[in-house]
Structure 1
Amino acid sequence: MREELLKVNQINKSFGPTKALVNVDFTAYRGEVHGLIGENGSGKSTVTTIIAGIQKADSGEMIYKGEHYDPKNALEANAKGICYLMQEQGTFEGISVAANIFVGKEEEFVKNGLMNVGELYRRARIALDRIGASHINEKENTSRLTFEDRKLVEIARAMENDPEILVVDETSTALSKSGRDLMYQVMEKMKENGKCVIFISHDIGEVKAVCDYLTVLRDGHLIATLEKQEFSDDAIRKLMVGREVSENFYREDMHATCEKEIAIRMEHVTHGLLKDINMEIHKGEIVGLGGLTDSGMHDIGKIFFGLTQPDIGKVELGDGTRIDSSLTAVKKNMAYVAKDRDKEALITAASIKDNICAPVLPRLGKKIFVSSKTEKQYAQKWADELKTKMQDINQYVMYLSGGNKQKVSVAKWVGFGADIYIFDCPTRGIDIGVKADIYKLLMKLKSEGKAILMISEEMMEIIGMADRTLIVKNGCITGEFKRDEGLTEDKLIEYII
């Protein structure tokens, strides 16, 4: 007999004219992982942030442990045993890992007006070891950690609260395989202990593997709740988008093609983990760069765009121009879509319009003047091109879903009309319908002779799209493969691990 833990009744939520949730019912039971899936803007994060006390519903009711539940804020929800792991960064900069784990609980370490820092570190060490993140130093400033390790710190903080319900909102997309395994172990322990996990993901394979039940949302409406035996790729896709969606998103040709002319090259680059990296990208070529999160592949993207200067070696264009800064890169018609949306790709406290127009302002105006009408038309065109779900182009980016933030990040640079594109995890947090659109966009850019570097932690994505694939392991390129029907994920993994 399933024991009800949380019941959401007829929840409604609107943002201006946009109805984010319409009469949504949802029940979470003990000892289960309950999945939530849907396209970007379907309402997944809205309903879970209401459950977690981050925002209020306009109407409806929640029953938790048999009692009326209406948390004033996230701290009250945490105190009642409901914790939320957000898709984007949820740690605080400038303070230690230990301070992040116990944020809001500092009084537990104060005696006679003095902070017992030693005890803070001791308990943080226990919290990190408990989830298997022993490699993270509890004394380290959180701003020095990788994006993945910051997510692990958030998991340690959540588990320190011993939650009854843990909401995991696309967190796994920020984690490598080892990080995901830690996350899954935490989820399994919660199930064993009679707790509940509400798990949001766009990855149908992942949802099928880890969830016991699955609720599908579309345009703010609850469409269906499926039991494990009802899970199938085709059924889930159709419920998500309201139409049949082909499983094959990728390009159909199996032949590597590109122009002879080299667009950009990296020569003998050494920096941090990276050791003597040599690679080139031709016009009309998609080069896939794959590996584990901490392999160094993301650093290669930053060095190509001039965001990081190598200790040894250089990056130069086909005409010999040295890329010595991101300013030079932009001037030379290069574009960079960063993996970390909130910190590197977007200004979240600015509008969609301002973000999309930022790289092209000098082109939109005459001398120092830019027409407001021109800005609006330009932003609207590219927001629509990427099918961004929004109130309007003046909406602040911080209020968009993770996938719609990604669409703005891509729109910003595609509209720029670059000759060289660096896409770092371009489909992270994007639903299946838009993934197909992104891949079509990549092929359109390729057909126009653009040079594309696609960095991805998803090997099937690289196999499906790249003309040439390079694998990075421990800062070195360990394998290079041309597009071929015989190229498999297992073959690439040999060079990754």
Structure 2
Amino acid sequence: MSGEVILKSHDIVKHFGQTHALNGISVEIHRGEIIGLIGENGSGKSTFSSIISGVYPPTSGSLELKGQPYKPTNPLDAQKHGISMVTQEMGTLPGIKVADNIFLGREEMFTQHGIVNRKQMYEAAKKAMEKVGITDIKPDAPISNYGLEDRKLIEVVRAIYNDPEIFIVDETTTALSQKGRDIIYRLIRKFCDENKAVIFISHDLEEIMEVCSQLIVLRDGDFIEQLPKSEFEEERIKELMVGRKLTGSYYRSDYDGSFSDEVVLKAEKIWKSHTLEDISLELHKGEILGIGGLTDCGMHDLGKILFGIEKPLIGKVTLGDGTEISNPKVAINHKIGYVSKNRDQEALILSASIMENTVLPSMSLISKGGLIFKSAEKKFTQEQIKGMSIKCREMSQDVRDLSGGNKQKVVFGKWLGNKSEIFILDCPTRGIDIGVKAFMYQLMYQLKQEGKSIIMISEELPELIGMSDKIMIMKDGKVQKTFDRSEKLSESLLIKEMV
């Protein structure tokens, strides 16, 4: 350990109704350390960090900050004590400007006689963003002008504005491109150099092992082990996380990239302003077609066009029978399911229950004579909860209360319940743990074997190589090259076409 203890937890317990999220966590956080907090979905990582940052009170147990009792009443109170967190969920407020989001709850800094000095606030926001290397976001622009990554970086600026002594980063890097990640990495190393502390939560083991100086492993709400950098070893960390030795590969072990000649979905000469140029593709029955590239290559826009969420400037998307996919309703009615990269904003209604989310695309399947009976909804949802092994208290539980992996299972479950034949999966394993990833890969391979068709858009090269029958690499809105499944295929071959 490189520095004095800054934060100590004593036997922290947290219950949500019948769910025991934490079972007596006692750990020490030292100055000058970047602590990786790891574990599978539902292990208690986010709950523990949320207690430290004032989001939840513990059911029992206590915290000590710099040798004094610490009981934060809310996140603003935690910030006053020098603890800030950037959460996994989207934390910016829509409908207001960038600067208002940065100084949310701190407007009094710019207020005189009850009037906010907007010019002063914009100037302060501009300086705060420039300090972390952000120069292309305007402080006086509406937050809605910016995408997921920029909004996440605005949250980071807000979190570190008061120069906290403990900075908690909860699954933030999964929403960022390399440029955004570099900003985060630079910041957390600066905190470390300044003898402060960082708690870093990520499902990316390679990232965790590279960035962190200590690891705290949680499993099912229990403290398992704290490891120094010298003891980082990937297989051992995985074993500590899941409680058993992981054998075999996550991915397909076969190199048979065959599929039916039958075309089930076709995109013809798709153009979209500044994003896509002359994209054509065919998806066959029983095929997993991987689409990869850098974040801004256009592949995420292509996924939305294939499902009918966005319209191309030129070109069209059709099914094998010639039906044009003009909007999501047509897609859903023709048994196409879509898993968005931006799960919480586009794939789920967070304030709705598991059941309400699950049955949404399948109303026509479970209705009788135009009527939908609660008993049918419950039976339908129970089937998906059981089939997808969703960990939850009850089907009436709000989706927002689930872990990332269980949220993703709800998204998959609703399309499986609708008996989808074609799946468009945009970053399907983003922000989920190794156990759920393995489950998803097995599910995808099973769907392929059943003759279902999958388009998998992914920023993870091992995933593309490990699961796809064919890989289409995109660059600057164009198809750069297509690769067939092969044991000779390597990440370096794909990267060469991406950059």
Deviations, residues 153-199 of structure 1 (Å, cap 9, x unaligned): 11111121211111111111111122212111111111011111101
Matched, 1:442 2:444: yes
Count of aligned pairs between the two proteins: 497
What's the counterpart of residue 11 of structure 1?
12
Matched residues in 2 for 1:484 and 1:76: separation? 55
Matched, 1:344 2:356: no
SS in 2 for 1:34: strand
What's the counterpart of residue 230 of structure 1?
231
Amino acid at match of 1:193: E
Matched, 1:422 2:424: yes
What's the counterpart of residue 458 of structure 2?
456
**How much does 1:111 deviate?**
3.0
Matched, 1:88 2:54: no
Matched residues in 2 for 1:458 and 1:292: separation? 10
**How much does 1:129 deviate?**
1.7
Alignment of 1:171-210 (within 5 A): 171-210=172-211
Matched residues in 1 for 2:419 and 2:197: separation? 47
Matched residues in 1 for 2:262 and 2:138: separation? 47
Taking a change above 3 Å as real, the CA distance of residues 392 and 454 of structure 1, as seen in their structure-2 partners, is: same
Amino acid at match of 1:340: N
Amino acid at match of 1:266: A
SS in 2 for 1:123: helix
What's the counterpart of residue 479 of structure 1?
481
C-alpha contact (below 8 Å) 1:176/1:457 kept by paired residues: no
Amino acid at match of 1:239: L
Alignment of 1:50-199 (within 5 A): 50-199=51-200
What's the counterpart of residue 399 of structure 1?
401
Matched residues in 2 for 1:422 and 1:157: separation? 35
C-alpha contact (below 8 Å) 1:88/1:402 kept by paired residues: no
Matched residues in 2 for 1:248 and 1:137: separation? 46
Amino acid at match of 1:309: K
Amino acid at match of 1:241: V
SS in 2 for 1:389: coil
What's the counterpart of residue 496 of structure 2?
494
What's the counterpart of residue 28 of structure 2?
27
Matched residues in 2 for 1:206 and 1:167: separation? 16
Q: Which of 447, 465, 468 is the matching residue for 1:466?
A: 468
**How much does 1:368 deviate?**
2.5
Amino acid at match of 1:115: V
What's the counterpart of residue 42 of structure 1?
43
Deviations, residues 368-392 of structure 1 (Å, cap 9, x unaligned): 2223222222212212222222111
TM-score scaled by structure 2?
Answer: 0.97
C-alpha contact (below 8 Å) 2:84/2:167 kept by paired residues: yes
Matched residues in 2 for 1:240 and 1:21: separation? 15
CA RMSD, 1 decimal: 1.3
Out of 178-187 and 41-50, give the one that drifted further. 178-187
What's the counterpart of residue 239 of structure 1?
240
C-alpha contact (below 8 Å) 1:410/1:426 kept by paired residues: no
Amino acid at match of 1:274: L
Identity of aligned residues (%): 47
SS in 2 for 1:295: coil
Amino acid at match of 1:384: K
Q: 5+ unaligned residues in a row in structure 2: which ranges? A: none
TM-score scaled by structure 1?
Answer: 0.97
**How much does 1:135 deviate?**
2.4
Deviations, residues 214-251 of structure 1 (Å, cap 9, x unaligned): 11111111011111111111111111111111362000
Matched residues in 2 for 1:16 and 1:73: separation? 20
Matched residues in 2 for 1:442 and 1:410: separation? 10
Matched residues in 2 for 1:289 and 1:137: separation? 33
Matched residues in 1 for 2:296 and 2:149: separation? 9
Out of 243-252 and 303-312, give the one that drifted further. 243-252
**How much does 1:119 deviate?**
2.0
Q: 5+ unaligned residues in a row in structure 1: which ranges? A: none
Taking a change above 3 Å as real, the CA distance of residues 243 and 298 of structure 1, as seen in their structure-2 partners, is: same
Matched residues in 2 for 1:181 and 1:171: separation? 12
Taking a change above 3 Å as real, the CA distance of residues 136 and 487 of structure 1, as seen in their structure-2 partners, is: farther
C-alpha contact (below 8 Å) 1:84/1:169 kept by paired residues: yes
Matched residues in 2 for 1:473 and 1:149: separation? 21
